[in-house]
Amino acid sequence: MLSSIGNILVILVITLSFLIIYNASLDIKFSSQFIKKNIYKLSLFQITFTVLSFFTLIIGFVISDFSLINVYENSHTAKPFFYKIAGTWGNHEGSLLLWVNILVIFSYLFLIFNHIHDKKFRLYTLIVQNILILGFLFFLLLNSNPFNSIYPIPLEGLGLNPILQDPALAIHPPLLYVGFVGCSIFFSAAMASLLSGYGGKIFAQSIKTWVKISWCFQTLGIIVGSIWAYYELGWGGFWFWDPVENASLLPWFAITALMHSLIVLEKRNTLYSWVIILCLLTFILSVTGTFLVRSGILNSVHTFASDPSRGIYILLFLSLMIFSSLIIFFTKYKKETYNFNLKSRETFILVNNWFMAFFLLTVLIGMLYPIFLDVLTNVKISVGPPFFNIVIIPLVVPFLFFMAIGPKFGWVKSRNKFFYKFFYLILGAVIINILIFYFFGKYSFLSNLIFIAAIFLILQSCIDVKKIINNKNKFELPRVISHLGFGLLVFFIGVNYQFSIEEDFNLKVGEIKKINNYEVNFQDIKIKDNKNYKAVIGIFKLTNFKNNLVQYLEPEIRIYSNPETLTYEAAIKTKITSDLYLTMSNVSRSDYYNIKFQNKPFMIWIWISALMISLGGFVQLTLKKNED
C-alpha cells in the first residue's frame, strides 16, 4: 500500500521535473519580464508531492509497515517513537529521499523569493537545479528505492543500530543535509549566472542569503556530530580526523571561503570568477564526500552497509557534474582585472581564502592518498591525526592573527594610524600567556604561539564588542561573534589538550585505583531492564583529594536485543571548569572491567565557542530581515 503510494509520488515528481525543465526552456525565449504562472504551479506541485513522499516513508516507519524493505531492515516495533521517526533518515535510502526533498525545497524557495532578479537567470537556475533533482531521483528509483516492497511481509523488523539511537544523531543528518544539499542552489545559480551572463554585484546579492543559510547549518551539523562522537563513542575526544569528518570539512572550507569572498564581490564588484569557482566547488565537494562515504571506499564510523553499484552511479553523476560545470565555466569565462591595494580589507579576505584553500588541499590529500596508494600499489596505509596536526596547527597561528587584524582595515585603502593599537594588544596577549604558562604548567613553543594568537583575537573581538555597543552598529556584530567564537574555540581546545588527564586500567568490582589527585572506587554493579535494552550499570565513587569532593559516576554497558549489539554509555559529569569522563567496558565476560578515566578541562566551553561560530551566522540572517 505505502509502497505503491511512495512509488507513484516519486514518479510524479520525476514527471514534474521534466515538465518544469521543458516549460522553463520555452519561457527563456520570451522577452516578457515575468515568469509564466504555470512554472510556479508546477513547482508548487513538485514540492508538495516530494514532501508527501517523505511523509509516506515516515508513516511507514511510525506504523512499522514491514512490507517496505527499508522499514524492515532499519526499524523494530519495540523502538521508541522518536527513533522510529529518526530512523527514516538513519539509513541510506531514507536519507537519499531527504536529500531530494531538500533539493526540491531549495529550488522552490529560490524561485519564489528572488523575483527582483533577472528572469533568465532565475529560469536557468531552475533548469540546472531540476537536472540535479532528476539525477538524484533516478538514482533513488533505480538503485536505492526506499519504497521497495518485500513479500511475504516479515512480522518483525531488524532494528536500528543502537549507536544511532541518540538525540544528537537524530538531528545531525537533517542539519548536515540542509547545509550540504543547500549548496546545490548556488551551484545551480552559478551555472545560471554563467549561462545568462547575469553576473557581478547583483549575482552576489542573489545568492548571499542562501550561502549563509547553508554555512550556518553546515557548521551546526558538524558541531552536533562532534558532540555525539564525544559522549557516544566513548573515546572522550571530539575530533578524530576520521575520513568522514574530513569529508564534511572539505565543503565547509570551501563555503567559508565563499562566504568571505562574496562580500568582496558585493562591495567591490570584483573576484567574480573566483566566487563562481567556489560556488561550484562547494557542492561538488559535498557530493564527493557523499560518494566516498556511501560507496564504502572510506571506512569509518559511518558504515552504512555499502554497495559498490551505488558508488559507480554517484561517481558517474559526479564526473558529469564536474565536466559540464568546467566546460561551461571555460567557454563563458571573461577576463577580469584585479586592482587590490595591499592595505585593504579585500586583500585580507583573499588571505583568508588562501588559508582555506591550503586547509582544504591538506585534508583532501590526507584523505585521498591512502585510496590512490591502495589502487596503484596495493599497499595499505592510513593517515592519522599526526599528519593533520603537523600540517594544519602551525598555520593556525598566522591565520588567527590575520583574522583579528583583517576586519580592522577599510575597503580599498587604509591609513597607517591604527597599527600601534595592535602592538598593545599583542603585548597584552603575551603577558596573559606568560601568566598561564607560569601558574598552570609548561607547554611547547608552538602551543605558546597558538595561545598568544588566540588571546590576541579574543582581546581584539572584545574591543570590537565594546565598540558595537557604543556605536550601536549592529551590522558588525555577526562577524565579531563568529570570530570571537573561533578564537575562544582554539584557546579552549589548546587548554583542554594541554591539561587533560587520561588513564586506562582494568578493575574488578570492589577495587580502587589512584590517579593524580583522584581516587576511583569501583563499588558495585547493577542490572536494569529497559524497553529495548538491558543495562549493566557500574557504580563508581570518585574522590578528588584536592578539595575532598566526592562524586558518583554511573557508566553503562547496554545490551540491545534488536539488533544484538553492545554499546558503552559514558558517564560524564559536566562542570563549568571541567568534565569528568568515565567509560566502562568488559572483555569476554571476565571479572575485570576496562575503565577509561578522563578529566577534561573546559570541555563545555569548547561546545559553547563552537556554537558561537554558527550563532554569528544565524544572527546575520535575522539582521538581514530587519534591514529589508
Partner 1 sequence: MLNKKVKKRIIFLTFIFLLSIVVVFFILNSLNKNIVYFSSPTEIKQTEDIPFGKAMRIGGMVKKGSITISQKNIQFIVTDFENEILVSYSGTVPNLFAEGKGVVAEGSLSDKNFFIASRILAKHDENYMPPEIKEIIEKNVK
Q: Is there binding between residue 433 and partner 1 (CB under 8 A)?
A: no
Q: Which is nearer to partner 1, 208 or 596 (CB)?
A: 596
Nearest-approach distance from CB 585 to partner 1, in angstroms: 6
Kindly state the smallest distance separating residue 268's Cβ from partner 1, in Å.
20
Q: What is d(CA 351, CA 597) in angstroms, rounded to the nearest whole number?
A: 42
In the bound complex, what is the minimum distance in angstroms from residue 297's beta carbon to partner 1?
10
CB of 389 to partner 1, least distance (A): 9
Using CB under 8 A as the binding rule, whether residue 188 contacts partner 1 is answered as no
In the structure grid, which three cell numbers stand for residue 569, read together?
554509555
Interface pick for partner 1 out of 69, 168, 301, 351 (rule CB under 8 A): 301
CA torsion 60-65-66-68 (nearest 10°) is: -40
The answer to whether residue 197 forms part of the interface with partner 1 (CB under 8 A) is: no
Is 566 one of the binding residues for partner 1 (CB under 8 A)? yes
| Of 596 and 600, CB closest to partner 1 | 596
The CA distance from 105 to 210, in Å, is 12
Q: Is 515 in the site for partner 1 (CB under 8 A)?
A: no
C-alpha 607/C-alpha 611 separation (Å) is: 6
Q: Which is nearer to partner 1, 53 or 562 (CB)?
A: 562
**574 vs 586 by CB, closer to partner 1:** 586
Select the span of 342-350, 400-408, 488-496, 505-513 touching partner 1 (CB under 8 A): 505-513
Chain residues 220-259 in contact with partner 1, contact rule CB under 8 A: 233-235
The answer to the question of residue 390 lying near partner 1 (CB under 8 A) is: yes
- Residue 387 interacting with partner 1 (CB under 8 A): yes
Tell me whether residue 291 is exposed, middle or buried, using C-beta atoms within 10 angstroms of its C-beta: 0 to 12, 13 to 18, 19 or more: buried
Q: Which of 342, 439, 441, 564 forms a contact with partner 1 (CB under 8 A)? A: 564
Q: Residue 394: name the closest of 453, 314, 461, 435 by CA.
A: 453
> Would you give the DSSP letter of residue 476?
G
Q: Which of 594, 604, 621, 624 binds partner 1 (CB under 8 A)?
A: 594
Give how many residues touch partner 1 by CB under 8 A.
45
CB-based contacts of 484: which residues, under 8 Å, 6+ apart? 457, 458, 461, 462, 465, 612
For the chain, what's the residue count?
628
Residue span binding partner 1 (CB under 8 A) among the ranges 138-146, 180-188, 373-381, 600-608:
373-381
Amino acid, single-letter form, for residue 446:
L
Asked if 324 interacts with partner 1 (CB under 8 A), we say: no
Check residue 309 for interaction with partner 1 (CB under 8 A): no
Buried b (16+ CB within 10 A) or exposed e, 233-271: bbebbbbbbbbbbbbbbbbbbbbbbbbbbbbbbbebebb
d(CA 285, CA 501): 37
Reading the block at residue 487, the C-alpha cell is 578564537
Question: Which DSSP symbol is given to 434?
Answer: H
Cell numbers for 534, please give them.
538491558
Among 366, 406, 487, 494, binds partner 1 (CB under 8 A): 366
Applying CB under 8 A, which residues contact partner 1?
A: 161, 163, 233-235, 299, 301, 303, 305, 358, 361-362, 365-366, 369-370, 379-384, 386-387, 390-391, 504-507, 511, 563-568, 583, 585, 587-588, 590, 592, 594, 596
